[in-house]
Amino acid sequence: MHLLSASHIQKSYGSSVLLEDAELHVTLGERIGLVGVNGSGKSTLLAMLAGQDDPDSGEFAWRTGTRVAWLSQRPLLDEESSLRDVAMAGASRQRSTRETYERELACDQMLDALGLTTPSMRVAEASGGMRRRAALAAALLEEADVLLLDEPTNHLDLDIIAWLVRHLRGLQGALLMISHDRYFIDEVVDRVVEIRKQRLWSFAGDFGAYLEARQTLEGVEARAESNRRKTFESELEWLKRSPKARSTKQKARVDRVSELATSDWQPRQQVHFEVQQHGRLGKTILVASALRAGFPDRADGMPGPHVVADQLDLTMQPGARIGLIGPNGAGKTTLLRTFAGLLPPLAGEIRLGVHTAIVYIDQERSGLDAKMTVRESATPSGSDWVEVGGERVHVATWLDRFLFRGDDLRQPVSTLSGGQRFRLLLARRLQEPLNLLVLDEPTNDLDLETLAVLEQALVDYPGCLLVVSHDRCFLDRVCTAILHIPGDGQTELHAGGWSDWETRKRAASAPAAAAAGNDPSSARRKESAPPKITLAEKATLATIEADIERAEAAVGERETRLADPALMADHASLTAAAADLDAAVAKRDALYARWAELEEKLATWTAWRAGRGA
């Protein structure tokens, strides 16, 4: 059942075209992830769907009676309301006939699940993260037919993200969400829609399936562009070689050259930068000895200091990249600022190496003057030249590496998105002496491609990194160790990334679960035999390799068709051909998965029978 059919959507800001003849169809029960580079129009599209902005042209056709709930990136809340008031406003918009006390109970449960332990706090006194969580609670409590979420995991700790995954999986209505958290997207969505070249491109399946399909399409586009260029060169050579042929009789061929020359195919543009260390590194970058970090006074008015880490010993050596994790309010940012020298220790000490040079970027992206332009903000002095790693680079060339080009350089900082502000801050701060980089939630608001570039730059960076992040994929790819801060003053350092820490945490909790009779492995040990492979499954296994060969051939045929340059000028045919390729790839992948499943089942059954001497 279609809840929404959007057609021929056009949206521009000045000379910048975000959407052109875009189409989107949303069905009841769908969970859609909306992706695209910063500035491509993701948040604008959600705002239009929420009725907070209008397209320049086109139509949003909603099914009659469809209710929409929206969480914006920066929700506007009544400063005098309490956090509970904000959430209850969402509960009051429910269509159900629940009693008031039932809605109040649901509201309190939602606030607790989202870690808002002081619901009576006024919005004016709440942090940005608490405001967003209250607004998220309101959106979830509405129980709308269509839920629009813009970066819902920002300011959520890992346990709350896990809860949100479970909650969103149980939605009855449709979901459209923007998120930079790749694990989160992969766990929730069943379709990915990408904004690219002012169009909406749909990919069935989870985020992993999208990445595979996107890689295939990138390859097809590259081949199509290569074929287009070859044809263009051939036609151009003909024009040069045969003046007589350029008559009215050959107008179609001349027009063909013009068409090829003005093709709208564009290679994807990416951020390109490196994080370079300054000078040589000593054996030790930072040493914390018996460190007590926090504040002299408690925020709740109780006597005594507020301690976030106590008796912490930590030594950072070259190449160490440590991720700080823990629940909201545990003190991750406080400890990070203490390491960076912005807060004094309550006790103990922090010693820096002789050559240690720190660059700190906070999660508010502060340090930029909102009234200045991108060009003026790129260097501390407004110079035309940048000195980085012994290289002298013109400021425009330097900004180009961070995807600021042309008119972008005259854009005021006040108009930049969160991701653009972070890119500009990196462009400015990476000019400073640096061998210890300290980042607080660097992945917030970054598009997926910029995030991948940032991760690779940090992996290649020879210096040290201290980072607070709730992005599990980022922690897995970048970090060499995890510092867990549970919030009781204790800390634990674990080697490896987030998945390594999670595995150890699960292993540590397994004995208690087994003692309580809840260990899944104990149930598996009671099983007498693995599932027997059936005659029908054996028959399938005997013929499936031939089926896979035919499926591979079908994929090849569709890739060849999609590489036809003639398709590039016909959006409808190109979309249909891409969908046809997606279906062929999905069929091939399903056959491979079935083949692997049956092979494993046969091997397991055979090994079990051999073990019993059967």
Q: Where exactly are the structural domains of the chain?
A: 2-211, 278-353+433-515, 358-426, 535-611
pLDDT value at position 355?
84
Q: At which residue do the structure tokens 């985020």 appear?
A: 207
CA–CA dist 407, 373 (Å, integer) = 10
- Are 373 and 410 in contact, with CB atoms under 8 Å apart? yes
Instruction: Decide: pTM greater than 0.75.
Output: no
- Are 165 and 181 in contact, with CB atoms under 8 Å apart? no
Spacing of C-alpha 83 from chain mean position: 27
Q: At which residue do the structure tokens 């890119």 appear?
A: 423
Q: Which two tokens stand for residue 9?
A: 């959507």
Number of H helices, E strands in the chain: 18, 20
Q: Which two tokens stand for residue 307?
A: 């301690």
Q: Report which DSSP code applies to 417.
A: -
pLDDT value at position 449?
79
CA–CA dist 219, 216 (Å, integer) = 5
Q: Under CATH, which architecture does the 2-211 domain have?
A: 3-Layer(aba) Sandwich (3.40)
pLDDT value at position 396?
92
- Are 180 and 471 in contact, with CB atoms under 8 Å apart? yes
**Pairing between β-strand 464-468 and β-strand 321-325 as defined by DSSP bridges:** parallel
Domains 2-211 and 278-353+433-515 belong to one CATH topology: yes
Q: Under CATH, which architecture does the 278-353+433-515 domain have?
A: 3-Layer(aba) Sandwich (3.40)
The residues that bridge with 351 in the sheet, in sequence order, are 287
CA–CA dist 104, 312 (Å, integer) = 42
Q: Which residues in the chain land under pLDDT 50?
A: 242-249, 251, 253-254, 256-268, 520-527, 614
Three-state SS at 105: helix
Q: Which two tokens stand for residue 16?
A: 């910048």
Q: Report which DSSP code applies to 122.
A: B
pLDDT value at position 237?
62
Diameter over CA atoms, the chain: 95
CA–CA dist 494, 485 (Å, integer) = 11
What residues contact 418, with CB distance under 8 A and at least 6 apart? 73, 365, 444, 445
Rg (CA), the chain: 28
